[in-house]
Structure 1
């Protein structure tokens, strides 16, 4: 355990970061769910988004366990707002003919935001001496990196499939 956080601005910053990341995982869960509901022509992306939704739920649980150890809790307001933002973000691309491409680009950026956030949380955990949290944060970081690599690897095949479906006159967006 990292000791007493009361009054220490670094501990407080760390706890805020943990709460923010928990809320961000709520967004990720909603994004995955909404996108999976709509994907029909991109089975690899659908399967990986389903898997990542489960990973995001596990990441949120890890963050909650860390917060619990620190006698802190996730922000209900942040979770509600960011969950709604996930739904809105997923819905923003629905009317676009190239919905799958826009979602792919947005997902790639989102994964890299999460990679940066977990990297920062690990540095904060080290700074405050919270060694018990480093391994679970590193596990989440590895999962986010793997998802980012998957999306990067799928960008060209997804674009090629989109072009193929468009040429065939099929609704190619999802």
Structure 2
């Protein structure tokens, strides 16, 4: 494959990844009842994720290619499976926050790689876009990491109280 073919394949992967992220985040937010700070931040990141999809589509459009329908579908199915699996866990809120942090770091790594690839193919606009998106992913990962202790403590307090739902 050429540099440009690899680059565009990775951009399509990032687009599919953001579709997966949107689906996961929407399912998580819809299930949160007792952790308002986490729900608010996830809803904010859903908006960012949708904006990121638009930015990624602009890169795809500039190269006159299309996002992969198959990758989009697989990403959505994976997200649904992850969301459904978490529904069964008594500690779904804690596991969801941990999973979110892990996913954000995967996105950070992906955009770091895309920045380097955009530089190799000379896509200055791509470098700008991927840097902007990576910065948003870093901010979300930092937020999750800094709030994970609070979510965990809230869950533990709620789970120890008789008749109080802690799960979500």
Same structural fold, with TM-score higher than 0.5 when normalized by the shorter chain? yes
Q: Tell which deviates more after alignment, 84-93 or 123-132.
A: 84-93
Matches within 5 A, 1:9-28: 9-28=2-21
| Structure-2 residue corresponding to 1:92 | 85
CA deviation map 1:14-69 (0-9, x unaligned): 00100000000000000110001110111011001111011111111100000000
Q: Distance in 2 between matches of 1:166 and 1:11?
A: 52
SS at match of 1:143: helix
| Structure-2 residue corresponding to 1:162 | 155
| 5+ long unaligned stretches in structure 2 | none
CA deviation map 1:117-139 (0-9, x unaligned): 00000000001101121111111
Equivalent pairs counted in the alignment come to: 167
| Structure-2 residue corresponding to 1:143 | 136
Q: Distance in 2 between matches of 1:134 and 1:151?
A: 26
The Cα of 1:77 is off from its aligned counterpart by: 1.1
Following TM superposition, the consecutive aligned residue runs of length 4 or more in structure 1 with deviations greater than 6 angstroms are none
Matches within 5 A, 1:83-122: 83-122=76-115
SS at match of 1:20: helix
What TM-score, normalized by structure 1, do the two folds share?
0.94
| Structure-2 residue corresponding to 1:5 | none
Q: Distance in 2 between matches of 1:126 and 1:76?
A: 27
SS at match of 1:173: coil
The Cα of 1:167 is off from its aligned counterpart by: 1.4
Matches within 5 A, 1:17-96: 17-96=10-89
| 5+ long unaligned stretches in structure 1 | 1-7
Q: Alignment RMSD, CA only?
A: 0.8
| Structure-2 residue corresponding to 1:171 | 165
